[in-house]
């Protein structure tokens, strides 16, 4: 059985756009002042990627709460959903490989996948997806992260990435950028 690892945020959905464009409402459950809320929200918007810090601070708690709302509100890419269903029809083993802190967001993530009827077999958090794929014998990774784009080929992992603002200027690395998931389908469907 062929296995593929697929990222979620900014690959199958519009997470960064959601974090940056959503109007998050202040309420007292944040347990911070309105000024601190605004400061922290701007900080999250300027760097929406969750670093998965184990250290719990007022800011990391705030970031986790905003990210959970972003996870719930992010819209799936229609072509990504269709691609995932195609993988299932073609009998691929599908591994969701995410940088999300699944300790905090597993239930929300699973609910989001169910909401969009996105099939998968396993879901893992991985700080280094290239190493994860190499150790698990997964030769194909669909992910937008620059590190994976730049280093995948060196370790025998074929990386396909949706072209976006943060990776548009990537120098040739052996990874292949795409504008639509049909391109990936044609590359791996052989």
CATH number at residue 87: 3.40.50.1000
Tokens in use for 139?
């030769």
172 shares a domain with 133? yes
Three-state secondary-structure class, residue 159: strand
Tokens in use for 175?
């990874």
Summarised one tens digit per residue, pLDDT across range 52-101 is 566 678 898 898 899 999 999 999 999 999 999 999 999 999 999 998 88
32 shares a domain with 119? no
pTM: 0.90
Summarised one tens digit per residue, pLDDT across range 107-124 is 999 999 999 999 999 999
Alpha-carbon gap, residue 182 to 159, rounded angstroms: 15
Do the Cβ atoms of 43 and 15 come closer than 8 Å?
no
Q: Which domain holds residue 53?
A: 15-73
Alpha-carbon gap, residue 86 to 185, rounded angstroms: 8
Using alpha carbons, list the distances in angstroms from residue 175 to 17, 31, 141. Answer: 24, 44, 10
Q: How many C-beta atoms lie closer than 10 Å to residue 98's C-beta?
A: 24
Alpha-carbon gap, residue 179 to 161, rounded angstroms: 9
């Amino acid at each position: 059985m062929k296995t593929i690892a697929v990222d979620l945020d900014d690959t199958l959905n519009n997470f960064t756009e959601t974090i940056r464009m959503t109007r998050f409402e202040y309420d007292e459950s944040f347990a911070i002042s309105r000024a601190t809320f605004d400061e922290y929200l701007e900080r999250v918007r300027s760097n929406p990627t969750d670093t998965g810090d184990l250290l719990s601070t007022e800011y990391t708690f705030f970031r986790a709460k905003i990210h959970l709302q972003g996870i719930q509100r992010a819209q799936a890419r229609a072509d990504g959903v269709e691609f995932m269903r195609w993988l299932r029809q073609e009998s691929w083993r599908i591994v969701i490989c995410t940088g999300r802190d699944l300790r905090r967001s597993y239930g929300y993530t699973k609910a989001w996948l169910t909401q969009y009827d996105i099939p998968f077999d396993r879901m893992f958090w991985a700080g280094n997806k290239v190493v994860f794929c190499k150790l698990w014998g997964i030769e194909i990774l669909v992910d937008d992260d620059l590190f994976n784009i730049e280093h995948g080929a060196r370790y025998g992992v074929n990386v396909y990435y949706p072209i976006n603002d943060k990776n548009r200027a990537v120098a040739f690395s052996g990874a292949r950028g795409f504008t639509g998931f049909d391109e990936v389908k044609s590359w791996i469907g052989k």
